[in-house]
Protein backbone atom coordinates (compact mmCIF):
# COMPACT_ATOMS: atom_id res chain seq x y z
CA UNK A 1 0.00 0.00 0.00
CA UNK A 2 1.29 3.46 -0.95
CA UNK A 3 0.86 6.31 1.53
CA UNK A 4 0.01 9.47 -0.43
CA UNK A 5 -0.15 11.71 2.64
CA UNK A 6 -1.36 11.47 6.24
CA UNK A 7 -4.96 10.71 5.23
CA UNK A 8 -4.92 8.99 1.84
CA UNK A 9 -3.54 5.69 0.56
CA UNK A 10 -3.53 3.78 -2.71
CA UNK A 11 -3.71 0.01 -2.40
CA UNK A 12 -3.97 -2.61 -5.12
CA UNK A 13 -5.32 -6.06 -5.78
CA UNK A 14 -4.84 -8.22 -8.88
CA UNK A 15 -7.56 -6.25 -10.72
CA UNK A 16 -7.44 -2.61 -9.63
CA UNK A 17 -5.98 0.24 -7.62
CA UNK A 18 -7.98 1.24 -4.56
CA UNK A 19 -8.10 4.77 -3.18
CA UNK A 20 -8.57 4.82 0.60
CA UNK A 21 -8.94 7.50 3.27
CA UNK A 22 -8.37 7.31 7.02
CA UNK A 23 -11.64 7.55 8.91
CA UNK A 24 -12.97 7.04 12.44
CA UNK A 25 -15.87 4.74 13.18
CA UNK A 26 -18.76 6.74 14.65
CA UNK A 27 -20.95 3.92 15.96
CA UNK A 28 -21.10 0.25 16.82
CA UNK A 29 -18.84 -1.78 19.05
CA UNK A 30 -15.72 -0.37 17.35
CA UNK A 31 -16.72 3.29 17.80
CA UNK A 32 -13.67 5.56 17.76
CA UNK A 33 -11.53 3.02 15.93
CA UNK A 34 -9.51 4.22 12.94
CA UNK A 35 -9.96 2.39 9.64
CA UNK A 36 -9.38 2.93 5.92
CA UNK A 37 -12.53 3.80 4.00
CA UNK A 38 -12.59 2.84 0.31
CA UNK A 39 -13.25 5.86 -1.91
CA UNK A 40 -12.96 4.17 -5.29
CA UNK A 41 -11.50 1.54 -7.58
CA UNK A 42 -9.31 2.50 -10.56
CA UNK A 43 -7.69 0.69 -13.48
CA UNK A 44 -4.33 2.48 -13.18
CA UNK A 45 -2.23 4.22 -10.56
CA UNK A 46 -2.50 7.46 -12.56
CA UNK A 47 -6.29 7.30 -12.59
CA UNK A 48 -6.28 6.73 -8.80
CA UNK A 49 -4.22 9.93 -8.40
CA UNK A 50 -6.69 11.80 -10.61
CA UNK A 51 -9.52 10.36 -8.52
CA UNK A 52 -7.86 11.68 -5.38
CA UNK A 53 -7.56 15.16 -6.88
CA UNK A 54 -11.24 15.14 -7.88
CA UNK A 55 -12.25 13.90 -4.42
CA UNK A 56 -10.28 16.65 -2.65
CA UNK A 57 -11.77 19.39 -4.84
CA UNK A 58 -15.32 18.01 -4.51
CA UNK A 59 -14.91 17.90 -0.73
CA UNK A 60 -14.03 21.59 -0.64
CA UNK A 61 -16.97 22.45 -2.90
CA UNK A 62 -19.28 20.42 -0.64
CA UNK A 63 -18.04 22.32 2.42
CA UNK A 64 -18.64 25.62 0.59
CA UNK A 65 -14.92 26.43 0.74
CA UNK A 66 -15.11 26.94 -3.04
CA UNK A 67 -18.03 28.96 -4.38
CA UNK A 68 -16.94 30.32 -7.76
CA UNK A 69 -15.72 28.72 -10.95
CA UNK A 70 -12.50 30.71 -10.72
CA UNK A 71 -11.85 29.33 -7.22
CA UNK A 72 -12.59 25.79 -8.41
CA UNK A 73 -10.12 26.03 -11.31
CA UNK A 74 -7.47 27.50 -9.01
CA UNK A 75 -8.03 24.75 -6.43
CA UNK A 76 -7.79 22.01 -9.08
CA UNK A 77 -4.45 23.42 -10.26
CA UNK A 78 -3.12 23.80 -6.71
CA UNK A 79 -4.21 20.30 -5.73
CA UNK A 80 -2.70 18.79 -8.89
CA UNK A 81 0.57 20.60 -8.16
CA UNK A 82 0.57 19.41 -4.55
CA UNK A 83 -0.15 15.76 -5.38
CA UNK A 84 2.22 15.57 -8.36
CA UNK A 85 4.90 17.18 -6.17
CA UNK A 86 4.60 14.18 -3.85
CA UNK A 87 5.34 11.87 -6.79
CA UNK A 88 8.76 13.41 -7.45
**Domain residue extents for the chain:** 2-86
| Residues in Cβ contact with 26 at an 8 Å cutoff, skipping those fewer than 6 apart | none
Q: Which residue has the higher pLDDT, 16 or 78?
A: 16
State CA 45 to chain mean position distance: 13
Task: Look up the pTM and report it.
Answer: 0.78
Burial of 17 (0-12, 13-18, 19+ CB in 10 A): buried
State CA 64 to chain mean position distance: 18
Q: pLDDT tens, 7-59?
A: 999 999 999 999 999 999 988 888 889 999 999 999 999 999 999 988 988 88
What is the torsion angle, in degrees rounded to the nearest 10, for the CA atoms of residue 22, residue 1, residue 51 and residue 33? -10
Amino acid sequence: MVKVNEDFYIDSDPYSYILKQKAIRTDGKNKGEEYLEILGYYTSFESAIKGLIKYLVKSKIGKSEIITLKEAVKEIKNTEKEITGLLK
